[in-house]
A = this chain, B = another copy of it.
């Protein structure tokens, strides 16, 4: 009988792999070690839990530990894998009862990513949160409650939550002002969530616009829209430090501007968790993520990596890239589970497809925009258009701005972005599919997209963009 399939990390990639392996090879022993108390939770749902649109923490669980046990997966929570010995085919596990060795036949490293707080001093003060994990979300929501409300009852998740932390923040007077450091996904989503609670929200962004990977058109639209919603932008402002007596009281920027605030959300990026691989021959890429082959196997035989700690092949460049996103993690985990069960399955490619809601704005991006395309060695031509989301006469038609980027010589589509209020985000899937199909701008322009007055004008905004970009390529 094969040695056990050992999985490090009990979230999207890890439990997808464990579940799929068990389904395909029920006799195989599958052991999962998860460092924390939670498993299989929807990280992307945290802002909506803070906002209150999601009622209880447990609503964010895809699987409970009981569900996992029912799948006959040997799950150990609160167990951290601290080392790997590929020669011995063992991992070192640090659990509540001390360290021990675990043999493996195949190993999956699905350790995810961790938030960086960069050079920002004081980000360990109480009241500064990275919003990375359900305990952060629970603490923030408890903080927003009046002290006479029952914070534990409000947030739910009794079986797993850090009760002490929830009660501590629940007992504090709620903040009136919030500083959001970093205008990425988390920053933009948390601006919406905290505004909904009536806080005076300030977003600090080092560059000139938020949501860098979404490009200029989307970033500018988000600045305008959030401003209309009462959010204060501090653009081109780098936060230097948070200060206070044990708790956040004050924020200072490198350039000197400052804000009194009791709550700081620090979302300035994430980095792959790969410390457990230190000292092994597992190859690490330039972003710090694990390099894998088409089946998710690392440079060391029998050691796989998937999810936010691993690279994937980019569908446009064909090169390996690190783009930590939820679907990629689920898909790669599922593929690795199938592979170790005996049916080698490609983990697939990534296109960097991402969508984000910013109050009423829907934003999407995919592939390479102009800067990324140039860095990847293409000669990019980019065009941005604004068109209606529905027939002009139909109620609810809204301006939709689309950017498409193509390679000048081959006319191959390289990427795009979209922003608007009416079914804008989901339209990026059209561009994502065109990238997967390696289509040219002309191919996209000729595609028979849907038209009916309530849903789209005769020329969908994406077709308008393709038409205009096609014209520019002819010049």
Interface residues of A (CB under 8 A from B): 12, 42, 44-45, 48, 53-54, 59-60, 315, 325-328, 330-331, 346, 348-357, 362, 364, 366, 391, 393-395, 423, 425-430, 432-439, 443-444, 446-456, 458-460, 462-463
Contacts and interface: CB of A to CB of B under 8 A. Distances in A.
A362 B364 CA distance: 22
Nearest to A448: B351
Given A349-B446, A444-B433, A455 B425 contact: yes
A81 B460 CA distance: 33
Nearest to A363: B452
Ranked nearest first, the 8 interchain pairs of A and B with the lowest CB-CB distance are A437-B437, A351-B448, A433-B433, A348-B446, A355-B450, A59-B393, A436-B447, A357-B454
Contacts of A331: 446
Interface centre among A54, A394, A439, A463, by most chain B C-beta atoms within 10 angstroms, is: A394
Contacts of A330: 458-459
Contacts of A450: 353-355, 364, 366, 425-426, 428-429, 432
Contacts of A42: 391, 393, 453
Nearest to A325: B451
B447 A432 contact: yes
Contacts of A452: 44, 354-357, 425
Given A330-B459, A433-B433, A451 B366 contact: no
17 contacts: A42-B391, A45-B391, A315-B448, A326-B458, A327-B458, A351-B447, A353-B450, A357-B452, A357-B454, A357-B455, A364-B450, A423-B423, A425-B452, A429-B447, A433-B434, A436-B444, A437-B438
Nearest to A393: B59
Contacts of A426: 423, 426-427, 450, 455-456
Copy count, this protein chain:
2
B349 A448 contact: yes
Contacts of A59: 393
B455 A328 contact: no
Nearest to A396: B53
Nearest to A56: B393
Interface centre among A59, A391, A429, by most chain B C-beta atoms within 10 angstroms, is: A429
Given A423-B426, A437-B433, A437-B439, A448 B45 contact: no
A194 B428 CA distance: 35
B346 A448 contact: no
Given A45-B393, A45-B453, A48-B394, 11 more contacts: A42-B393, A42-B453, A59-B393, A349-B448, A354-B452, A356-B452, A426-B455, A429-B447, A430-B433, A433-B434, A433-B444
A437 to B, nearest CB: 2
Nearest to A431: B433
B447 A393 contact: no
Contact of A355 (B357, B435, B451): B451
Contacts of A352: 448
A53 B395 CA distance: 7
Interface centre among A325, A364, A436, by most chain B C-beta atoms within 10 angstroms, is: A436
Contacts of A432: 430, 447-450
A53 B394 contact: yes
Contacts of A328: 448
A423 B427 CA distance: 10
Contacts of A327: 448-449, 451, 458-459, 463
Interface centre among A328, A435, A458, by most chain B C-beta atoms within 10 angstroms, is: A458
Contact of A447 (B12, B326, B433, B453): B433
A452 B430 CA distance: 16
A389 to B, nearest CB: 9
Interface centre among A45, A325, A327, A462, by most chain B C-beta atoms within 10 angstroms, is: A327
Contact of A362 (B439, B455, B462): B455
A242 to B, nearest CB: 29
A45 B447 contact: no
Nearest to A343: B474
Contact of A393 (B60, B349, B425, B449): B60
